[in-house]
Structure 1
Amino acid sequence: MCGLAAFAASPALSHGVHAPSKGAPKPVLVLEGEFVATELNGRPLSRSGDAPKATLVFMPQDGVSGSTGCNRLNGRLVRSGADTTRFGPLALTKMACTGPAGALERQMLVVLRATNQISKFGSEVRLLSANGRVLARLQAISARAETGTSLYGKSWTLVRLNGQALDPQSLRPQVTFESNRISGSTGCNQFSGIHQRAAGKSRFLNMMQTERACLAAIGDPMATEAAFMEALSQVDEISLTTNQMILKSSKSPDVLIFEAGN
């Protein structure tokens, strides 16, 4: 897994959306879901499929994660008084970025440091400077993370991979879900990424993993890892029973079957 570097954002960023009546407290802006940057400092960003994309994922209790277009970021929104909130220190992975991805990352970090207010208009989030200038516009990709107790709070162990039962004595992949994120083990390496839920479909984005070579007395953990990660990248549907989770793709016959608590 790439190392993490602390990134300290600038102080203060405001959250009022509507002008409150005189004497009434201002409403607190509640943000949840994943948003992709469509404009930075007045310049539209490419939305083509191969262009790097900067994203922010707003989670419950003011958690925030996302991508600079190259590196992953994690942190929190810090509120100060009724009008002001800021991006607190953000942890960044430390991949070297060149070309368009590097340029986008530099712009995104400048915007995050300068942000002093946040507003929301329909599906658009705006990051603003202290004087109200629009620094960035972001468009919603998904509204809210999937809710419910059955998916969360459990460690799910893979028991069948593309129709083949996995030996219970082997190093089997495991996953956990928390808010808008997925993390776990391939049975060899650790991985994490974003779980996006929208229009009844689930997708796993910005997946990253460590890069160890693994051997085991039972099974081939490297072959299992490759098949598991490939199948996971195609998933768009999650179905749940009391003790079983099935991940599958509408475009592929690959199916991942997990059981809880193993």
Structure 2
Amino acid sequence: MKRGVVAVGAVLFILVVSFCCGCTQEPATGGGDLTGTVWMLDEYMNIDGAMAEPLATAPVTAEFADGYVKGSSGCNMYNAAYVTDGQTISLDLPVVTVMYCDGTGVMEQEARYLSLLGAIAGYTMSDEKLTFTDSAGQEILIFHAVETELNGTEWMLTGYNNGLWGFVSVEDGTSVTATFSESNQISGNSGCNSYSGTYTVTGDAITIGPLAMTEMYCMDPEGVMDQEGAYLAAVQAAASYRVDPGDLTLMDADGLRMAVFRQYVSTPQGEDWELTGYNNGQGGVVSPAAQTTISALFGEDGQVTGSAGCNNYFASYSVSGMEVSIGPVGSTKMYCESPAETMEQESRYLTLLGEVATFERGPGTLTLRDVDGSILLAYAVAQPKITTGEWHMVSYQDADGNAVSALDSTNVTAIFGVDGQVTGDAGCNSYFGSYTKDGNSLSIGPLGLTLMYCETPAGVMDQESGYLAALEGAVSYQVSGNDLTLYAEDGTVSVWFMQAP
């Protein structure tokens, strides 16, 4: 959500002494069962008089303590004095920060919510649900209680203090986690290594550490080890914490943010994973051999399947919290001669699957570890590949550099096999040949084809020769969703393919 300040200094809360300006009543000293809970808005009465759900991108909260209610109204922070008498309640005019937030309906929702605060006359509570009514007894705001305890929660880092008086985001391609157990143990992954230690909480004060960690060294992505050191120093400098709906903030003794997390429930399901690294048994995590693809798909049926580089494999798995057990592992029985290390790599991979004990899910990443916390297997979300299915030509570049669309009633195709062979239909004849790729670089041909002659549709033979020339002239490619684009040496589009979604 993009936020812009529209008044200098307005982003800061007005000092508490100003909250009583205009107050017509003494603040409540208690609040009964309202206090001690963070409430999140479930429904509110819209301007049409109907109950509506708040925007998912603009959550609204309320926390009652010491005679004041405070929280987020979706964009800004608010604070208002309140008094209760039995089940009746009244609020003073709230003091609100003055920011503008982009997003359809955000500011309109906020204005409506703040106006409803002034209409509150009564409340009821049941089953962690808080309902406010107006003077006519009509429900106008409904909240649910939000869990704010650390015990038994799991978090993923979104930002941290780098020790240079800077608060920075987590490096792309890394996953930093923290789990707070009910036995006052903190553990997680710091980007490369696993760490663990103790924590203690007294009120909103927290002490973390000392922390112990495994001793692996990761080269990728660049900066991951610096991030790891700064993160571990930041969390051990924490002196207080705040749990908001879905967020955890650790602060030092001066109130400076040390680390900010978002809460998550981790699972290996939901993505097609491609192996990016595996433990070679010699203390290192290495990349898979070139021209091999190792994949994993964790199904909702408790089965993990994929390619081990040559053979397909299958195994059962079970998950409990951050623990995962895989096996026994079975596979097909093919033998692949190239690349030379394929079979050795495959054997190592299948063995490592059976040794997995824990997992961490990050944005686009999945890491599997053994009981000692060492990385066994690292995956990233599989990206679309040139070898995925049959591609249908949309247009090609002719000898004059013009983009020419495929003729109606012709179906020009290309299939890039994992064996380095490209085949397809050129519109009249079938063609075949080899191709090589290195990263996004591509070389195709020479191509051979059958020797038929087609009279219809008009121009089909010219299209065929033009298409094949453009195909052989491609030097690079890009896959984006259902599109495959081949580029000529000068950077222009040589051939554009699509496939059915």
Q: TM tier, shorter chain?
A: 0.3 to 0.5
TM-score with structure 2 length normalisation? 0.29
Higher RCO structure (Cα 8 Å, ≥6 apart): 1
